[in-house]
Structure 1
Amino acid sequence: MDWNKLASGMLKAELKRRNISYEQLVTLLNTIDVHETHASILNKMSRGAFQFAFFLQCASAIGITNLRLDDLAPTIPDAKSR
């Protein structure tokens, strides 16, 4: 399981679902006093690895109010038997 790829995929999916570009994300992050550049976001997303704090900052900036981790169960081996 590539957890970094999963995390970046989740964030990319939320951005796409909300029709938010990386440039718009920069602006939204600035409104919550998080200072990133378009290049730094592009680098993090293409690298597919970033800190969980960045994920939470993005989630807050784009208005995610509920994150269901049980939606990941099908991708985690033996998750349903735990």
Structure 2
Amino acid sequence: MAERKANPVNVEYETRAKNLLKAELKRKGITYRQLAEKLADLGIQENERNLNNKISRGGFTAAFMLQCLEAIGANDIRL
């Protein structure tokens, strides 16, 4: 993990992923608490604090990002 974080290219893309997900949440007006509820509807158990930490770090999986985007109904995103 330390090697991954030391690579500036990875840090750049993790930051972009984090910012993209945060922007979609803000655009939709969805809080981390609401996101946790919407993820629970998909069978994904996350609490508000874990979501805040995970998204703030930016080192989440593509699967997690897609789950969040699906949960909030973000069908179209701009990279």
User: Shorter-chain-normalised TM-score: which range?
Assistant: 0.7 to 0.9
Deviation at 1:67, TM superposition (A): 3.2
TM-score for the superposition, normalised by structure 1? 0.78
The aligned counterpart of 1:46 is 56
* Alpha-carbon displacement from aligned partner over 1:56-77 (angstroms, at most 9, x marks no partner): 0001100011234xxx4xxxxx
Distance in 1 of aligned mates of 2:52 and 2:42: 19
Root mean square deviation, CA, Å: 1.2
4+ residue runs of structure 1 moved beyond 6 angstroms? Answer: none
Structure 1: gaps of 5 or more residues: 73-82
In structure 2, how many angstroms separate the alpha carbons of the residues matched to 1:17 and 1:67? 11
Q: Sequence identity of aligned pairs in percent?
A: 43
Taking the aligned partners of 1:26 and 1:55, their CA distance within structure 2 comes to 13
Once residues 77 and 25 of structure 2 are traced to their aligned partners in structure 1, the CA distance between those partners, rounded to angstroms, is 14
Task: Give the greater-gyration-radius structure (CA).
Answer: 1
Q: Secondary structure at the match of 2:21?
A: helix
User: Which runs of no fewer than 5 residues in structure 2 stay unpaired?
Assistant: 1-8
What is the aligned length? 69
TM (normalized to structure 2)?
0.80
The yes-or-no answer on 1:4 pairing with 2:31 is no
